[in-house]
Amino acid sequence: MIIAVEEIEHTVAQLSSDQLRKFRVWYEKFDSKAWDEQLEEDIYSGKLDPLADVAITDHKMGRSKRL
């Protein structure tokens, strides 16, 4: 069953304040998990290696600062 984004938007707009709060909590967890999985996939695939290389080079050249 595929639901159009517009239908989801309409349904969310109809939620009570309490239901919307619960939805936000659920969605934040759902979205965080999806983000973490994508980041992990990108790390293991080497997609982020060029960015890491630039950061390491910058650090070695003194172009970084302590946080």
What CA dihedral angle connects 29, 34, 37 and 42, to 10 degrees? -140
pLDDT number for residue 14: 98
Question: Which pLDDT value is given to residue 36?
Answer: 98
Per-residue pLDDT of the chain (67 residues; tens, 9 = 90+): 889 999 999 999 999 999 999 999 999 999 999 999 999 999 999 999 999 999 999 999 999 998 8
Q: What is the distance of C-alpha 53 from the center of its chain?
A: 23
Q: What is the pLDDT of residue 1?
A: 81
Q: Where do the structural domains in the chain lie, given as residue ranges?
A: 15-60
Question: DSSP secondary structure string, 8-56?
Answer: HHHHHHT--HHHHHHHHHHHHHHHHHHHHHHHHHHHHHTTTHHHHHHHH
